[in-house]
Structure 1
Amino acid sequence: MRITKRSNIAIRVLMFCGVHRDRLVTKAEIAARCNTSESHLAQVINQLSQLGFLETSRGRNGGIRLGRSMPRIVIGDVFRIMESSATLAECFADVDNTCPLVDACKLRPALADAVEAFYARLDQVTLEELVCDNAPLIDVLGPVGCRQTQEA
C-alpha cells in the first residue's frame, strides 16, 4: 500500500498546527516548514476544514488552526478520508476494472483485510500522540529560533 501525497500533506499540516496550537498559522509558514507547495496545501487545508479538522479564517489577521482538540483527531479517520478515492488495486475499482480474475481471485479478500488492519492500527493513534512530548518534531516544526534542546 502506498500513501498518497495528499494524506502525507494532511498529516504534516495537522502536526504543524498541533505544534503551534496556541496561535493561527499561515499557509506560507506550513509550506515552508513542511516542504510542500502552497497549491497542494490549499486543496488539503480546504478538505480538512470542511471536515472540521481545521478552522480557517480569512483576511489580514486570518490563518489556520486545529478545529478539534488533538486527542479527538484520530489518524485513522484522517487517512480514510484522504485515501477514500485511491484504490489499492485495479480489482477494487468500481469502474475501469478489467482484471479477468475478479470472480476467482482469493487475493482480493486478503488485501481488503490487510487494508482494514492498517486503518485499525491508525485508529489507535491520535494527533496528540504524534505531537506532545515529541521534542524532535518541535525542533523541525517549531518556531524558528526557539528550538528545544535535549539535555544529556
Structure 2
Amino acid sequence: MLSQQSRYALKALIHLASRNPEKPHPTAEIASACNVPRKFLEAILLDLKVAGLVHSTRGKLGGYSLARSPQSITFGDVIRVTDGPLALLHCASKKFYRRCLDCPDEQACQLRAIMIEARDKLSAVLDNRSLADAMNGGAGGILDDQTAPLET
C-alpha cells in the first residue's frame, strides 16, 4: 500500500511541477496548497533533496524547486525514495537486492519468481508515469484525498 509519506511527496512534487518549477516555493506554501502537515513535509522534502529530485534555496525568497524536469521525475523515482524498493521481497528487487536467508535455492524459488513478475508489472506502470503525466490528468485521481476506496 502506498504510504502517506509517498502520497505527500507526490502531491508536493506535482504542486511544484504545476507552478513555475524552477522558482523556489516556500515550504509553508506547499504544505498549505497540498493540505500536508508542514513539519512532516519538511522531512519529506529533505529526503527528496538528498535524492536529487528537488533543490532548496535559502533566504527570504527561498524554498524548494524541482531539480529535474517534470517529464523526467517518475512516480517510481519518488516511491523508491519515500518507501524503498517496489519489490515485495528483497530477493526480487533490482535496486535493493538482498538474498533471503531462509531460501536454499533462489533460482528454484517459485515465490521469488512470482514476486519478480509482480515487481516488473508495477515498475512498468510507475516508471513510465511522470509528474508531467499527473499534471495532465494522467494520475487517475490516485493522489486525491476524495478518491473512493477500491473494493478488495
Is this a same-fold pair by TM over 0.5?
Answer: yes
When the two chains are superposed, the root-mean-square deviation of aligned CA atoms in Å is: 3.1
Match of 1:107 among 104, 108, 111: 111
TM-score (ref. length: structure 1): 0.69
What are the superposed Cα offsets for residues 95-116 of structure 1, whole Å, 9 maximum, x if unpaired? xx99x8x669733431332123
Distance 1:129 1:38 in 2: 26
User: Unpaired segments of 5 or more residues in structure 1?
Assistant: 141-152
Q: Which residue pairs with 2:4 in the alignment?
A: 5
Q: CA separation of 1:90/1:122 partners in 2, compared to 1, >3 Å: closer, same or farther? A: closer
Q: CA separation of 1:132/1:72 partners in 2, compared to 1, >3 Å: closer, same or farther? A: same
Instruction: Tell which has more relative contact order, 1 or 2 (C-alpha 8 A, sep 6+).
Output: 1
Question: Once the 2 structures are TM-superposed, how far is the Cα of residue 87 of structure 1 from its aligned partner?
Answer: 7.6
8 Å contact kept, 1:4–1:83: yes
Q: Which residue pairs with 1:58 in the alignment?
A: 58
Distance 2:129 2:87 in 1: 23
**Higher gyration radius (CA):** 1
Q: Which residue pairs with 2:33 in the alignment?
A: 33
User: Unpaired segments of 5 or more residues in structure 2?
Assistant: 93-97, 145-152
Q: Which residue pairs with 1:15 in the alignment?
A: 14
8 Å contact kept, 1:76–1:120: no
Question: Once the 2 structures are TM-superposed, how far is the Cα of residue 91 of structure 1 from its aligned partner?
Answer: 9.3
Q: Which one-letter code corresponds to 2:131 in the other structure? A: L
% identical equivalent positions: 26
8 Å contact kept, 1:10–1:44: yes
Distance 1:43 1:55 in 2: 14
